Amino acid sequence: MQIDLAAAPTDPGAYDARKRRLAETFTKLYLRGAWRPLDRLVRRLHAADAAAVFAELPVAQVVDTLQAVSRPRHAARIVNEMPQALRHQVVEALPREELAELLENFRPDELTDLIQALPEDRREHPLSALPADSRDELDSLLAHDPGAAGGLMTTEFFALHEMVAVREAIDALRGYSDAEMVFYLFLTDEAGHLTGVISLRQLLLAREDAQVAEFMSRRVIRVRTDTEEEQVSRLFDKYRLLALPVVDEADVLVGIVTVDDIIDVIGESTTEDMLRMAGTRQSEMLTDSVFRVAGVRLPWLFAAFLGGLGATAVIGQYEDILGEVIILSAFVPIIIGMAGNVGVQSATVTVRGLATGAIHLRDTVVMVFKELRVGLLLGAFYGVILALYGLWIYDSLHLGQVVGLTILTNMAGAALLAVSLPMLFVRLNADPAVATGPFVTTAIDVLGVLNYFVIASLIYGL
Amino acid sequence: MQIDLAAAPTDPGAYDARKRRLAETFTKLYLRGAWRPLDRLVRRLHAADAAAVFAELPVAQVVDTLQAVSRPRHAARIVNEMPQALRHQVVEALPREELAELLENFRPDELTDLIQALPEDRREHPLSALPADSRDELDSLLAHDPGAAGGLMTTEFFALHEMVAVREAIDALRGYSDAEMVFYLFLTDEAGHLTGVISLRQLLLAREDAQVAEFMSRRVIRVRTDTEEEQVSRLFDKYRLLALPVVDEADVLVGIVTVDDIIDVIGESTTEDMLRMAGTRQSEMLTDSVFRVAGVRLPWLFAAFLGGLGATAVIGQYEDILGEVIILSAFVPIIIGMAGNVGVQSATVTVRGLATGAIHLRDTVVMVFKELRVGLLLGAFYGVILALYGLWIYDSLHLGQVVGLTILTNMAGAALLAVSLPMLFVRLNADPAVATGPFVTTAIDVLGVLNYFVIASLIYGL
Mutate to test the interface with A, among B205, B263, B394 (most CBs of A within 10 A): B263
What does the alpha-carbon distance between residue B275 and residue B266 come to, in Å, rounded to a whole number?
Answer: 14
Report the pLDDT value the prediction gives residue A9, as an integer from 0 to 100: 54
Do A337 and B308 lie within an 8 Å CB cutoff? yes
Please report residues of A whose CB lies closer than 8 A to that of B284: 358
Q: Which of A181, A323, A352 sits opposite B326 (nearest CB)?
A: A323
Cβ contacts below 8 Å, chain A against chain B, sum to 349
CA angle B285/B291/B296 to nearest 5° reads 70
Do A301 and B220 lie within an 8 Å CB cutoff? no
Do B294 and A374 lie within an 8 Å CB cutoff? yes
- Provide the pLDDT confidence category of residue B401 given band limits of 50, 70 and 90: very high
Please report residues of B whose CB lies closer than 8 A to that of A370: 285-286, 290, 293
Q: Which of A279, A332, A385 sits opposite B345 (nearest CB)?
A: A279
How many C-alpha atoms does A330 have within 13 Å on its Cβ side? 24
Quick one: which H or E segment has residue A46?
none
Do B239 and A330 lie within an 8 Å CB cutoff? no
Please report residues of A whose CB lies closer than 8 A to that of B273: 274
Q: In a 3-state reduction of DSSP, which class is residue B189?
A: coil
Do B10 and A224 lie within an 8 Å CB cutoff? yes
Least confident of A280-289, A306-315, B126-135, B138-147: A280-289
What chain A residue is nearest to B393 in terms of C-alpha separation? A313
Contact A62, A78 (CB under 8 A): no
Do B183 and A182 lie within an 8 Å CB cutoff? no
Beta-bridge mates of residue B243: B258
Q: What is the nearest CA distance from A251 to chain B, expressed in angstroms?
A: 12
Q: What is the mean pLDDT of residues B232-256?
A: 89
What does the alpha-carbon distance between residue B149 and residue B234 come to, in Å, rounded to a whole number?
Answer: 12
Dihedral angle of Cα B458, B459, B461, B462, to the nearest 10 degrees:
-80
Q: What is the mean pLDDT of residues B236-241?
A: 85
pTM assigned to the model: 0.72
Report the pLDDT value the prediction gives residue B120, as an integer from 0 to 100: 79
Q: Which of B224, B231, B382 sits opposite A301 (nearest CB)?
A: B382
Contact A345, B278 (CB under 8 A): yes
Least confident of A193-197, B116-120, B331-335: B116-120
Do B286 and A200 lie within an 8 Å CB cutoff? no
Least confident of A3-12, A425-434, B289-298, B432-441: A3-12
Contact B263, B181 (CB under 8 A): no
Q: Which of B48, B238, B316 sits opposite A238 (nearest CB)?
A: B48
DSSP code of A300? H
Contact B425, B435 (CB under 8 A): yes
Report the pLDDT value the prediction gives residue B27, as an integer from 0 to 100: 94
In this predicted structure, the answer to whether residue B6 has a pLDDT above a threshold of 80 is no
In this predicted structure, the answer to whether residue A178 has a pLDDT above a threshold of 90 is no
Output the CA–CA distances (angstroms, integers) from residue B228 to B104, B276, B438, in the order listed.
28, 18, 26
Do A201 and B205 lie within an 8 Å CB cutoff? no
**Strand A184-188's sheet: what is its strand order?**
A159-161, A184-188, A194-199
Structure confidence by residue, pLDDT tens digits, B70-119: 998 899 999 998 888 889 899 999 998 899 999 988 888 888 888 888 87
What does the alpha-carbon distance between residue B156 and residue B141 come to, in Å, rounded to a whole number?
Answer: 12
Q: How far is CA A143 from the centre of its chain?
A: 22
Q: What is the nearest CA distance from B132 to chain A, expressed in angstroms?
A: 31
Do B348 and A278 lie within an 8 Å CB cutoff? yes
Please report residues of A whose CB lies closer than 8 A to that of B316: 327, 330
What does the alpha-carbon distance between residue B61 and residue B75 come to, in Å, rounded to a whole number?
Answer: 14
Report the pLDDT value the prediction gives residue B181, as an integer from 0 to 100: 55
In this predicted structure, the answer to whether residue B126 has a pLDDT above a threshold of 70 is yes
* Cα radius of gyration (chain A): 30
Report the pLDDT value the prediction gives residue B3, as an integer from 0 to 100: 44
Structure confidence by residue, pLDDT tens digits, A112-142: 888 888 887 888 888 888 888 888 888 888 8
What chain A residue is nearest to B315 in terms of C-alpha separation? A330
Report the pLDDT value the prediction gives residue B108, as an integer from 0 to 100: 84
Q: What is the nearest CA distance from A272 to chain B, expressed in angstroms?
A: 10
Q: What is the nearest CA distance from B174 to chain A, expressed in angstroms?
A: 6
Q: Which of A179, A319, A352 sits opposite B274 (nearest CB)?
A: A352
Q: Which of B6, B203, B304 sits opposite A341 (nearest CB)?
A: B304
What does the alpha-carbon distance between residue A198 and residue A173 come to, in Å, rounded to a whole number?
Answer: 13
Q: Which of B242, B273, B334 sits opposite A242 (nearest CB)?
A: B242
Q: Are strands B194-199 and B223-224 parallel, antiparallel or unpaired?
A: unpaired
How many C-alpha atoms does B348 have within 13 Å on its Cβ side? 26
- Provide the pLDDT confidence category of residue B411 given band limits of 50, 70 and 90: very high
Cα separation of the two ends of chain A: 82
Least confident of A101-115, A247-261, A353-367: A353-367
Q: What is the mean pLDDT of residues A320-341?
A: 89
